[in-house]
Amino acid sequence: MKRNRLSVDQYVSGILSGDRMVLSRAITLVESTLESDQMLADKVMEKVIPYSGNSIRIGITGVPGVGKSTFIEAFGIRVIEDGHKLAVLAVDPSSQNSGGSILGDKTRMEKLSADKRAYIRPSPAGTTLGGVSAKTREAMILCEAAGFDVIFIETVGVGQSEISVRGMVDFFLLLMLAGAGDELQGIKKGIIEMCDALVINKADGENVEASKKAKREYANALHLFPLKENGWTPKVKMSSALSGEGLQDIWEMIGTFIEQVKSKGYFESNRASQRVNWLHEHISFMLTSRFYQDKDIKAVLNASLEDVRKGKLSSITLGRTLVERFIRKNED
């Protein structure tokens, strides 16, 4: 059955007028894997891109149990109270396994999701992380064109998703816990190196002193990392999503960061580099998708997999054969 789609102009006018229903339908369109939908989505994206880019893009990640959703809701409310419109997008590569959405952010952020100045949307599951991040970028651009001037991109998984999100935001915030033990905190040194700020969350009640101690330790540790290309020295802050303590300080810090990197020309050069990287990632993603969707390639691949598993056929040989076959088939 043919899906009910709007025209390109209907999508574009609805998005630019801030129609949330049309925005949601447009994001659903870019999530679709149907070729006809992808062609329509490309036309919509081409028309709205000139109206995008006028936001502060903030990546937020953290260890399991750190209270990301509670923090994002409290911090988001602080942001919209400052006169901004906020869109929250979530990247969850683990949802590829089930094909489902992320953990139900709207039910976890009831107050924020009920506010007309905020828009919460889970990122779609894709067959690859590249697919997930590509759709998240498109959703981000659509939200910006719809007038949202602050974008939160939340990573649910811990690992490769952080690298992907770091490459699409202006500011990367890492939430940590005090006194959680080295095992829980051990989310790779590389993620700490990527962050622009490290926030000790749940710094309230009996946890205040432990949070102060953790803040000192992380501040000392961050000084051991090389100076960032943008000249910014990562900061360590404390926050309590329950009391609201520290949220204003974090928001002001992000404002200071944006001013600093804009004054040095890094903000736009970073955005420009991201756009070029997105181009190469999208080309790679499209080529990979086209390759695996090819009927002849799928037939040969499926027929040969068992020989690869048993070691009767080299993975390298089969890979080269399939790629050469694909290239020959698509030559002009």
Mean pLDDT computed over 221-229: 79
pLDDT tens digit sequence for 152-201: 998 865 566 777 888 899 999 999 888 655 433 444 566 777 889 999 99
In the predicted model, is pLDDT for residue 107 greater than 70?
no
In the predicted model, is pLDDT for residue 206 greater than 90?
no
Q: What contacts 23, CB < 8 A, 6 or more positions away?
A: 14, 15, 119, 142, 143, 146
CB 152 within 8 A of CB 77: no
| Percentage of the residues of the chain whose pLDDT score is greater than 90 | 55
Residue 67: the pLDDT is 87
pLDDT tens digit sequence for 243-284: 999 999 999 999 999 999 999 999 999 999 999 998 998 888
Mean pLDDT computed over 63-91: 91
For the chain, domains (ranges, CATH) are 1-51 (1.20.5.170), 52-264 (3.40.50.300), 279-329 (no CATH)
Residue 132: the pLDDT is 59
Q: What is the 3-state secondary structure (H, E, C) of the chain?
A: CCCCCCCHHHHHHHHHCCCHHHHHHHHHHHHCCCHHHHHHHHHHHHHHHHHCCCCEEEEEEECCCCCHHHHHHHHHHHHHHCCCCEEEEEECHHHHCCCCCCCCHHHHCHHHHCCCCEEEEECCCCCCHHHHHHHHHHHHHHHHHCCCCEEEEEECCCCHHHHHHHCCCCEEEEEECCCCCHHHHCCCHHHHHHCCEEEECCCCHHHHHHHHHHHHHHHHHHCCCCCCCCCCCCEEEECCCCCCCCHHHHHHHHHHHHHHHHHCCHHHHHHHHHHHHHHHHHHHHHHHHHHHHCHHHHHHHHHHHHHHHCCCCCHHHHHHHHHHHHHHHCCC
Q: Which residue has the higher pLDDT, 325 or 99?
A: 325
Q: Which residue has the higher pLDDT, 257 or 99?
A: 257
Distance CA 166, CA 186 (A): 19
Residue 35: the pLDDT is 84
In the predicted model, is pLDDT for residue 240 greater than 90?
yes
In the predicted model, is pLDDT for residue 130 greater than 90?
no
Q: 56: pLDDT confidence band, cut at 50, 70 and 90?
A: very high
Q: Which of 1-10, 53-62, 258-267 has the lowest mean pLDDT?
A: 1-10
| Percentage of the residues of the chain whose pLDDT score is greater than 70 | 85
Q: Which residue has the higher pLDDT, 122 or 288?
A: 288
pTM of the predicted structure, to 2 decimals: 0.87
Distance CA 250, CA 231 (A): 19
Q: 227: pLDDT confidence band, cut at 50, 70 and 90?
A: confident
pLDDT tens digit sequence for 314-330: 999 999 999 999 999 88
Q: Which of 25-29, 170-174, 195-199, 223-227 has the lowest mean pLDDT?
A: 223-227
Residue 226: the pLDDT is 78
Burial of residue 74, with CB atoms counted within 10 A of its CB: 0-12 exposed, 13-18 middle, 19 or more buried? buried
Distance CA 199, CA 75 (A): 12
Q: CB-hemisphere CA count at 13 Å for 5?
A: 21
Residue 125: the pLDDT is 46
